[in-house]
Structures are given as structure tokens and as C-alpha cells.
Amino acid sequence: MARPSPLSGFPELLPADRIVEQRLLAELTRVFELHAFASVETRAIEPVEVLLGKGEVDKEVYAVRRLQAGPEDTSDPEWALHFDLTVPFARYVLEHAGHLQFPFRRYQVQKVWRGERPQEGRYREFTQADVDIVGADTLADHHDVEIVAVAADGFARLRDVLNFPPATLRVNNRKLAEGFYRGVGATDTAAVLQRIDKLGKIGPDKVGELLVAECGLTETAARTCLDLATITAYDESFVENVQALGVSDPLLDEGLEQLAAVVRGGGEVAPSVVKADLSIARGLDYYTGTVMETELAGYERLGSVASGGRYDKLASDGKRTYPGVGFSFGVTRMLVPIVAAGTVKASRQVPTCVLVAVDSEEDRATATSVATVLRRRGIPTEVAPKADKFGKQIRHADRRGIPYVWFCRADGDEVKDIRSGDQITADAASWTPPAEDLFPQVG
Amino acid sequence: MARPSPLSGFPELLPADRIVEQRLLAELTRVFELHAFASVETRAIEPVEVLLGKGEVDKEVYAVRRLQAGPEDTSDPEWALHFDLTVPFARYVLEHAGHLQFPFRRYQVQKVWRGERPQEGRYREFTQADVDIVGADTLADHHDVEIVAVAADGFARLRDVLNFPPATLRVNNRKLAEGFYRGVGATDTAAVLQRIDKLGKIGPDKVGELLVAECGLTETAARTCLDLATITAYDESFVENVQALGVSDPLLDEGLEQLAAVVRGGGEVAPSVVKADLSIARGLDYYTGTVMETELAGYERLGSVASGGRYDKLASDGKRTYPGVGFSFGVTRMLVPIVAAGTVKASRQVPTCVLVAVDSEEDRATATSVATVLRRRGIPTEVAPKADKFGKQIRHADRRGIPYVWFCRADGDEVKDIRSGDQITADAASWTPPAEDLFPQVG
């Protein structure tokens, strides 16, 4: 075949960037497991009607059918690739409910597919990493605090360990907003929320006009709602600021209490990551309490790279309802621009720590034996593919970023750090590289 | 929605079995990295004509198209889900050749899809774990030894660390077979190989008849070919046994030398795993040297769960040809029957090591603080979802297999091993569980 071109919207990483992705996923899944979430994977396809019936507003799905079924065969049910991990997880919970323990805490890292127009931060195939806690019939509010905590802990770890840009997790609460809007006299609180959701796009003046013209608010009420949306804080001080606006409603109080608990809990796990931001609306109408979105410093143009919230009905089989709270990391969405910018890099493009040089093809077995000993001791090792001159073998290592070259000598092996040029005698049974050289560093 | 039914051929694991899969993949990728293979992932779809033009004989692919494209839209190229990881990798090599260093060693762990009829060990969606070494223009024979070594090391590790059934990696060489058949007078050696490939199905007598009737061999020549196919050995002794058959051909000698090197190298890494088996033919006509398949003790009915070989042309862009040698672990294919039989199990169904009990909802913050301290110290921890009576909270842990329950006490916390009933005073800042309890054990 001729040299193929990249397929727009289907990013593929070169090995060095893939090492960054692997580390990112390893750090996130470690955090998920420390927070007691179990891994689940679901099949890639779901019935079309299930995918179109719920979930994201965007319904650009990829339909899937057996090629051999032929164009005339309409007997198969219609299937499509999942476009998120929430819809398949809801189906998984219903299908396997009898074998699961509730509340069920699961994480799920998989690819999803959307037929939308590709652009920076928007792909047709991309990886998400989701955490959700799902209850049978009921789910206590304090689980919202746990989800915000694991999300904050995840981003803090990416920042501290992999040098990722700092994240701000902006959190609001639907009850708080709904109660507040009711308290200023709104009858259709969802309509008010929809207008507030446009703040970033059209600004407060326009939104104020819409609130009066389309939602029937008084000028004063509209201004009070806009004032609410300006309130932000990394601690519970926002509660006083809201109360100072003089609106009162029992649902508002409930929302304030929940949001305060979330900000407090998030702050305990990772200071200066979780921020109450009363402008956050999140378009999706299935959220019923906590709502979250995430901005990365320096990458604000990407919009929210991770988001989530509380939904009172993840799934229902007619008999039982399963409420949940969850959060989704847009892995590809944040990773691809960050590695493209060189903000985070791997120190080499291979896992290899040592290249064992080969003196002559007749002596290859000697080099292979050294490699076997080093590997058994947990040191990633390659044997030089060709008994070239040593200079060429060293360049083979250098081009891949392999830090050490090993030379087999009858009177005692030697190992060279090709960065410093230092060369020492060494025994494969005991030589140990510095810990930071053992695997590629990412940062 | 009503309770959904499982979809045949698309296996989904419950959390405890998923822990086994996670460990299996972690052990395999660790081995791959120790052998200096870099991770690559490719997109899930390839052009239909590429998928149908090469690769496995089975062409039951799943076509993919944007649902919104509508049935009348035929402008899109036709795409389908990949059915293996070799075809996409060949395309990746061509597309990114300018950014890769050759010989290029990559591993790839991804799902693949085939529209074939589901049965035990045969799925429509399943995970493969592939390793390949690819050269630009040339690739030395000693890389075959490396592929067999990483395959043998992988299976040895699954056996030693996860208690998987022992594997036998049966290896043969196409040159050996071709040279031998030529040496006994065959003119169409590929036709002889195809008949020999039927040994397992129809037995030596029938194959002997076919060799005479369809391949034009003499009775004696046919018998000699059947004798060759009976030769097996875990060491180089097979060479003498072949030579004792009195056939001579330069290609045979080359094949003998290569297979001897492979068996020797495999034995050095993992004794009693790699076996020369001169009956192995492997149907696929793109193999040109080493061929391998794998049987698991007690699971012989599954057939080969992992296979691979040498191909002189993985890909070509008209200017350059890329020869390769590779091996593919059928992860789902071996895992699903093994966990279904209970041969390998996880010690619990959650990553959680400690459940922190909650005295009363007012004291939840105390429990959460303990959990935060334990997590920072690398101990997977859950806070009890409800301030039930302690007996009920302990049952919550017990049902999930969580080994420890933590009690927050004003006069000093205590932690209980709920398996033994032992309860001791403990400080979250210093208490450490035994290493084997920290994460689920698999075995």
C-alpha cells in the first residue's frame, strides 16, 4: 500500500507520547484504586436506541454492522459504538445488578467514539477515564464529596508527579441554583439556568436582558441572579456571600450545605484545586445536585477537560432506580494538546534502560545472557541488533534515549552512561542503575 | 429500560474477574517492557479494503459509518473495526516510518472485533496483546529468538506469579519444512504443508494418502514427511532426529539452524516452555520462517491461545519493505475460560484494603480524615457508606472481601482483621498492612 495519511479526529501517538499517556493513566487508576473504586470495562457497542435515548446532547454516533450481513439484511438489531462511558455503565449496572454490591464504586478507562467535526480538543476517537458511585434506590449526599475528592486528588497527582498544568475544579450545585432562582421569584428555574449557562458566551448584560424578557424576572431579580453567578471561593466563605444577597429558600439552604461540604472535602484532599463557582450550570438536564467542570492553567481554550455531577437516576429497570454521582476525565482531550506543546515529555521513547552491545555475531549469545540476567532483576534491556562498530551501537542507544550501554568483556564487563560518558566495570548480577533511570521519566 | 440480556460473543467481566485480567495485562506488559518493547495504540478502524486485502483468512469484519451520514450518503470511505492488531500496526509503521527507529520493537494491547459465530474461546470482541519486531528492508534472524524468548517469558510469568496453567510454546520453521519436502522430491511444498496442517483433524493415515494422491509424493516420501511431523523436543536433540531421516537440502539446514537457535534461546529464558514440534504448520501463508502456537495445560480444547511467526513482508510502501516477526497473546481467549473455571481467582472484588467504619453521620469527617491519611500512604481505603451498626459495616467489608475494618476512637483508633477477628490499636499515620493484603491477590 502507498504511505497512508493520518485520519482526522483519530489521534495516534508516537511511542514517546504514548509513554506520557501510559503514565497519566497509571497515576489516575492508582488514585481511583486508593479511593476504593473497582475497574470495569464494557463492550464497545450498545443498541442504537439506547444511545439515542439518553446521555449527551451530541448524537453523532457510529453505527456498526457485520459487513457480511449484506445491505439487504435488516434482521440484526442496530448497534453503534458508545459515545461515552455513562450509558454503557448504566446498562452494565442493570444487566449485572444481581452480582454487584451497592453502593457500587467503579472506574472505567476506555475509548469512546463521536462522529462530530474534529478540532483541537475534540476528537472522533478518544479515551475517557470515569469514576462513578451508584446506589440501589438511594445514594447519600456525602458520596458527592467523595467524587469531588477523587477528582481533585487525581488532578493534584498529575500536577505533582507528572508536571501537568494545575487544574481548577469548578463546582456548583443545582439545588442551590434552583432554590435561589425560586427565591427571587422565578417560576421556570430550568429556563433561568439555561440563560445563566450562556454567561461565558454572551456576557452578563445580554443574559440579564434574556432573564427579564424570556424568564419573566424583574430587573432586580435578574441582577441578583447575575450577582450569584459572580461568586467564587476556594473555601466555605461563598456561603456568607450568597446569604448576603438576601434570598431565602429551603432548597437553597440544602444546596449551600452540600456545596460547602464538597468544597471542604476537596480542600482537605488537595488544597487550591476545588473552587466553588456559582456560574457553573452544565447544560445537561440529568444533573440534579453537584455539578463540576475543570480548567487547566494555560489550556483554558480547551474549555472543560473533565466534568461530572450528581444524577438521581443513572438507570432504572422499572422496579429499582439507581442514583449516581460521577466524574469523567477527558484523557485524550487534555493529553494531545499538552504533549503537542511539549509541556509534558517522556525522557526517552522506549522503556529500555540498557543496551547490551554485541562484539561480533558469534558472541551474541554472551550479550543475550547478560540481558536475561538484567531483565530477571527488573532492568529493561535490549541487545544490540547488529554487531556494528561500538560507536554505531552507542548511537543506536542515543537515538532512542537509552541511558546505558553494556560491554561484555572477558576480563570483566563494563557499563557506560552515554549521557556523562562515565564508564565503570560492572557485574550483571549486581549492577543497579539509579532508580530514576530504570524507567522513562515523565514530566 | 428493562433488564438487558448479555450480548453473545461480547464477554463482560464482573469486578473480581476484571482484577484477574488487570493483573494478567500488567504482568505481560511488564515482561514486554523488560524485553525493550515500546507501547503503541492504533485507532479502532481501518479502511475496509485494507482489512479485506490481507491478514487472517476470516473476513467477518464489522463495518462502521456515521449514523447521521444517512443511508443515501456513499461519499464516505468505507471503514471497519480492526480484526487483529497486525494490519493496523503495518499501516502505523508505513504512516509513521519517518518518526520511528528501526528495528522497531512495539507491543500493543487492544480490543479487536470479528463477526464470527461465538463459542467458547471464540468471541466477537476480545483483547489481544501483541509483540512485534519490524525492520526496514532487512531484519536479522536472531530477532526470531527474541520473540520466542519474550513469549516464553510472558507465559512463564503468568504461571509463576498468577498460577496460570503451564503453557507449551510449540515452534517450527517454514524453511525447515519446505527444504525437507523439497529434499524428498516434492515440487509443490506449500501443498504438502497444507496436508500436514490437517494432521490434528484427520490423522496420519489420511494425510499420507493425500500426500501421495494430491501432492505426487512416493509412498516412501510421504512416510518420511509424516515421520518428520512426529519429532518434538524441548532441546536441540530434534536436529539429530531430523538428520537421521536422511534428507538433505540447503534450506532444510538453514531452517534447522534457526529452529535450534530459537529452542536454545527460549530454554535459556524459561526451561520446559518452548518445544520444537515439527508438526506445526500454521495455515497462514504469510509466514516465512519461525512459526509458533501455544497450548495451555488443561485447556487443550481451546486450541492455540497465542501464536505468531516470521513474515518477510509486514508492510511495503512501494519503496521500502518492512519484514517482521511477532507474537500475539489471545488474552480474552485464555482468560474467560480460566476465570469461568475458577482456576485463577482474585482474593477480593475491590481494590480496597481498609474500610473505615463510621460511628455516626456527625462523625463522618473523622472517618474521612483517617481515609485521607491512609490513602496518602498508599493504602486503598473506603469510608463506610452509612453509620450502621458496626456488625452491618463489617458485613459490608466481608461481602466485598475487604480484609480490614478501622474504628475511630477518641482514646486511640483500632483496626480489625475481619478474617482472624484480631483487633489492635493503630495509628493511621503509621499502621501498615502486610504487603500481601495491600492489593488483591491473584492466583
Query: A372–B268: do the CB atoms touch at under 8 Å?
Result: yes
Q: Which residue has the higher pLDDT, A120 or A438?
A: A438
Residue of B nearest to A116 (CA): B66
Query: A65–B63: do the CB atoms touch at under 8 Å?
Result: yes
Which residues, including other chains, have CB under 8 Å from residue A97's CB and lie 6 or more apart?
A136, A317, A320, A322, B3
What grid cell was written down for B423?
A: 483487633
List chain A residues with CB under 8 Å of B372. 149, 268-269
In one-letter notation, the amino acid at residue B297 is: A
Residue of B nearest to A50 (CA): B1
Q: What is the pLDDT of residue A115?
A: 86
Provide the shortest C-alpha distance from residue B205 to chain A (in Å).
37
From residue B70, alpha-carbon distances to A9, A225, A372, B66, B76 in Å are 20, 43, 56, 8, 11
Structural domains in chain A, sorted by start? 15-41+85-340 (3.30.930.10), 45-81 (no CATH), 354-438 (3.40.50.800)
Task: Kindly state the average pLDDT of the residues B130-150.
Answer: 97
Query: A36–B352: do the CB atoms touch at under 8 Å?
Result: yes
Q: What is the pLDDT of residue B57?
A: 44
CA A82 vs. chain centroid, Å, equals 17
Query: A68–B45: do the CB atoms touch at under 8 Å?
Result: no
List chain B residues with CB under 8 Å of A7. 43, 45
Question: What does chain A come to in residues?
Answer: 443
Question: Cβ atoms within 10 A of the Cβ of A385, count?
Answer: 20
The kind and range of the H/E element at A88 are helix A86-96
Provide the shortest C-alpha distance from residue B233 to chain A (in Å).
21
Residue A60 pLDDT grade (very low, low, confident, very high; cuts 50, 70, 90)? confident
User: E strands within A156-282?
Assistant: 167-173, 232-233, 274-277
Mean pLDDT of the residues in chain B: 94
Residue of B nearest to A127 (CA): B43
The whole-angstrom separation of Cα B296 and Cα B277 is: 15
Question: Cβ atoms within 10 A of the Cβ of B9, count?
Answer: 18
What are the φ and ψ backbone dihedral angles of A102, each rounded to 5 degrees? -105, 150
Query: B38–A350: do the CB atoms touch at under 8 Å?
Result: yes
Q: What is the pLDDT of residues A211-269, one digit of tens each?
A: 999 999 999 999 999 999 999 999 999 999 999 999 999 999 999 999 999 999 999 99
Task: Kindly state the average pLDDT of the residues A321-345.
Answer: 97
Pick the residue of A29, A72, A142 with the most B CBs within 10 A to test the interface with B by mutation: A142
DSSP-assigned states of every residue in A359-376: S-GGGHHHHHHHHHHHHH
Q: Which of A118-122, A432-436, B227-231 has the lowest mean pLDDT?
A: A118-122
List chain B residues with CB under 8 Å of A125. 43-45
Rg for chain A (alpha carbons), in Å? Answer: 27
β A167-173/B104-113 pair status: unpaired
What grid cell was written down for A328?
A: 469523567
Task: Kindly state the average pLDDT of the residues A139-155.
Answer: 98
Q: What is the pLDDT of residue B71?
A: 56
Residue of A nearest to B117 (CA): A66
Query: B115–A62: do the CB atoms touch at under 8 Å?
Result: no
**Among candidate residues B243, B289, B287, the one with its CA nearest the CA of residue B262:** B289
Nearest to A352 among B36, B42, B145 (CB): B36
The whole-angstrom separation of Cα B437 and Cα B404 is: 9
Q: What is the pLDDT of residue B174?
A: 95
Residue B130 has pLDDT above 90, yes or no: yes
Residue B144 has pLDDT above 60, yes or no: yes
Residue B75 has pLDDT above 90, yes or no: no
Answer for the pair A398, A418: CB distance below 8 angstroms, yes or no.
yes
DSSP-assigned states of every residue in A393-417: HHHHHHHHT--EEEE--TT--EEEE
**Among candidate residues A207, A201, A241, the one with its CA nearest the CA of residue A222:** A207
Place of cell 516464553: B152
Pick the residue of A48, A81, A350 with the most B CBs within 10 A to test the interface with B by mutation: A350
The whole-angstrom separation of Cα B361 and Cα B390 is: 13
Packing angle, helices B364-376 and A142-162, rounded to 10 = 20
Q: What is the pLDDT of residue B211?
A: 97
Residue A57 has pLDDT above 50, yes or no: no
Q: Which of A48-62, A111-125, B300-314 has the lowest mean pLDDT?
A: A48-62
The kind and range of the H/E element at B39 are strand B38-39
Residue of A nearest to B48 (CA): A67
Provide the shortest C-alpha distance from residue B58 to chain A (in Å).
11
User: E strands within B73-200?
Assistant: 79-81, 104-113, 125-134, 167-173
Answer for the pair B32, A114: CB distance below 8 angstroms, yes or no.
no
> How open is the CA angle B146-B149-B154, to the nearest 5 degrees?
130
Nearest to A39 among B7, B22, B378 (CB): B22
Nearest to B48 among A50, A67, A372 (CB): A67
The whole-angstrom separation of Cα A213 and Cα A207 is: 10
The whole-angstrom separation of Cα B50 and Cα B55 is: 9
Residue B208 has pLDDT above 60, yes or no: yes
Q: What is the pLDDT of residues B258-304, one digit of tens each?
A: 999 999 999 999 999 999 999 998 876 789 999 999 999 999 999 99
Residue B309 Ramachandran class (φ > 0 left, ψ -120 to 50 alpha, else beta): left
Mean pLDDT of the residues in chain A: 94
List chain A residues with CB under 8 Å of B351. 33-34, 36-38
Query: B43–A12: do the CB atoms touch at under 8 Å?
Result: yes
> What's the half-sphere exposure (Cβ side, CA atoms, 13 Å) at A382?
29
Residue A56 has pLDDT above 60, yes or no: no
Q: What is the pLDDT of residue B129?
A: 98
Answer for the pair B333, B301: CB distance below 8 angstroms, yes or no.
no
Residue A77 has pLDDT above 60, yes or no: no
What grid cell was written down for B311?
A: 513474515
What grid cell was written down for A344?
A: 509534558
**Among candidate residues A28, A342, A301, A37, the one with its CA nearest the CA of residue A159:** A28
Task: Kindly state the average pLDDT of the residues B205-232.
Answer: 97
DSSP-assigned states of every residue in B43-71: -SEEEHHHHHHSS-S---PEEEEEGGG-T
Question: Cβ atoms within 10 A of the Cβ of B433, count?
Answer: 16
List chain B residues with CB under 8 Å of A62. 64-67
Place of cell 527507529: B101
The whole-angstrom separation of Cα A353 and Cα A404 is: 6
Residue of B nearest to A9 (CA): B43
Q: How many CB pairs under 8 A join A and B?
A: 236
What SS3 string covers B214-277?
HHCCCHHHHHHHHHHHCCEECCCHHHHHHHCCCCCCHHHHHHHHHHHHHHHHHHHHCCCCEEEE
What grid cell was written down for A168?
A: 481548577
> What's the half-sphere exposure (Cβ side, CA atoms, 13 Å) at B110?
23
The whole-angstrom separation of Cα A269 and Cα A265 is: 7
DSSP B363: G
Residue of B nearest to A398 (CA): B101
List chain A residues with CB under 8 Å of B316. 1
Q: What is the pLDDT of residue A314?
A: 86
β A381-383/B232-233 pair status: unpaired
Residue of A nearest to B322 (CA): A1
What grid cell was written down for B18?
A: 476484571
Q: What is the pLDDT of residue B59?
A: 66
Query: A349–B67: do the CB atoms touch at under 8 Å?
Result: no
Q: What is the pLDDT of residue A59?
A: 66
List chain A residues with CB under 8 Å of B106. 15
**Among candidate residues A399, A279, A287, the one with its CA nearest the CA of residue A348:** A399
| C-beta pairs of A414-421 under 8 Å, 24+ apart in sequence | A415/A354, A418/A394
Question: Cβ atoms within 10 A of the Cβ of B169, count?
Answer: 27
Answer for the pair A408, A363: CB distance below 8 angstroms, yes or no.
yes
List chain B residues with CB under 8 Å of A100. 14-15
Q: Taken in order B303, B309, B312, B314, is the CA torsion positive or negative?
A: positive
Residue B54 has pLDDT above 60, yes or no: no
Answer for the pair A438, A352: CB distance below 8 angstroms, yes or no.
no
List chain B residues with CB under 8 Å of A269. 372
Q: What is the pLDDT of residue B442?
A: 97
The whole-angstrom separation of Cα B207 and Cα B378 is: 61
Provide the shortest C-alpha distance from residue A234 to chain B (in Å).
19
Answer for the pair B264, B256: CB distance below 8 angstroms, yes or no.
no
Helix (H) and strand (E) counts in chain B: 14, 17
Q: Which of A117-131, A176-190, B316-330 has the lowest mean pLDDT?
A: A117-131
Residue B2 Ramachandran class (φ > 0 left, ψ -120 to 50 alpha, else beta): beta
Query: B369–A268: do the CB atoms touch at under 8 Å?
Result: yes
Query: B15–A265: do the CB atoms touch at under 8 Å?
Result: no
From residue B153, alpha-carbon distances to B33, B71, B133, B344 in Å are 12, 50, 16, 19
Task: Kindly state the average pLDDT of the residues A407-428.
Answer: 97
DSSP-assigned states of every residue in A173-199: EHHHHHHHHHHTT-S-HHHHHHHHTTH
Residue A402 has pLDDT above 70, yes or no: yes
